[in-house]
Amino acid sequence: MRKKPWANEMIASRTDCVITDPAALKGSWKQFSVNGEVHLEIGAGKGDYWIKMGNMYPETAWIALEKNYDCAAIALKKSLEQTDPNMKFIIGDAALAGEWFAEGELDVIHLNFSDPWPKKSHAKRRLTSVSFLKDYRTILKKDGKIIFKTDNSSLFEYSLLSFEEEGWKLTEVSVDFRRNEHPEDAITEYERNFMAVGQPIYRAVWQPER
Ligand SMILES: C[S@@+](CC[C@H](N)C(=O)[O-])C[C@H]1O[C@@H](n2cnc3c(N)ncnc32)[C@H](O)[C@@H]1O
């Protein structure tokens, strides 16, 4: 991602949604939700999913988390005029999520087209690796869920095994999610590109307790 000279200014101007000290909100994210639900999207990229879902479900709190500063700036630019009070943005690393969210505070975690990190030596960086799953289990409520979409068959297989190893319950699985219409679920930037070249979208949903 090329450096965006306007990134600092854009991010600083978005005081309506950028949370600069997420740890200070630990345990109180529900304040942004009308129906009591809090969804976290990890690796939000340029923000399409966050914007569309946040607008489509205004009663639910939608928190985007993105570690790449320039990417976050693009999402924040794109969402000008489209950010409802239920939508918040954290610029940071998912490895710190346990410091920002209290035990059982989240209803749903969305992982959309997470980086595959194909080298075995980088496996720990995958957002579905065992150490991340341990953190997710803590911050998700007992009957919460993780919804994962990817184009990458190797990452999908790896993730199925990783969740299995950690004792999660697989509740939904599809190897061609967009075979049917799913108007309830927004299409991400990556997803749109993969769909355009006919790549099937893999999707799975897990719950922490069997
Ligand atoms: C392949 S992109 C997908 C973007 C978007 N979700 C989509 O579907 O179009 C993955 C994104 O996850 C972000 N990411 C990767 N690891 C992360 C981490 N540990 N914490 C936060 N964001 C992360 C990357 O910076 C990148 O923007």
Q: Which domain CATH number covers 87?
A: 3.40.50.150
**Number of compact structural domains in the chain:** 1
Task: Give domain status of residue 189, yes or no.
Answer: yes
Q: In this structure, is residue 201 part of a structural domain?
A: yes
Q: What is the pLDDT of residues 72-120, one digit of tens each?
A: 999 999 999 999 999 999 999 999 999 999 999 999 999 999 999 999 9
pLDDT at 1 over 90: no
Protein residues whose CB sits closer than 6 Å to any atom of ligand 1? 42-45, 65-68, 71, 93-95, 112-115, 127, 188-191
Residue whose Cα lies nearest atom 13 of ligand 1: it is 43
Tell me, yes or no, whether 167 lies in a domain: yes
- Chain Cα centroid distance, residue 187: 13
Is 156 domain-assigned? yes
pLDDT at 159 over 80: yes
Average of pLDDT values for 13-21? Answer: 98
Any domain includes 159: yes
Centre of ligand 1 from the C-alpha of residue 111, in Å: 8
Global pTM reads 0.98
Mean pLDDT of 145-167: 98
Does 174 map to a domain?
yes
Distance 167 CA to ligand 1 centre (A): 25
- Ligand 1 centroid to residue 66 C-alpha, Å: 6
Strand partners, 40: 63, 109
Q: Three-state DSSP class for 183?
A: coil
Report the candidate in 71, 53, 78, 77 with the shortest Cα–Cα distance to residue 63: 53
In a domain, 9, yes or no: no
Tell me, yes or no, whether 161 lies in a domain.
Answer: yes
Catalytic residues: 115
Residue 175: domain span: 32-207
Of the pLDDT bands very low, low, confident and very high (cuts 50, 70, 90), residue 209 is: confident
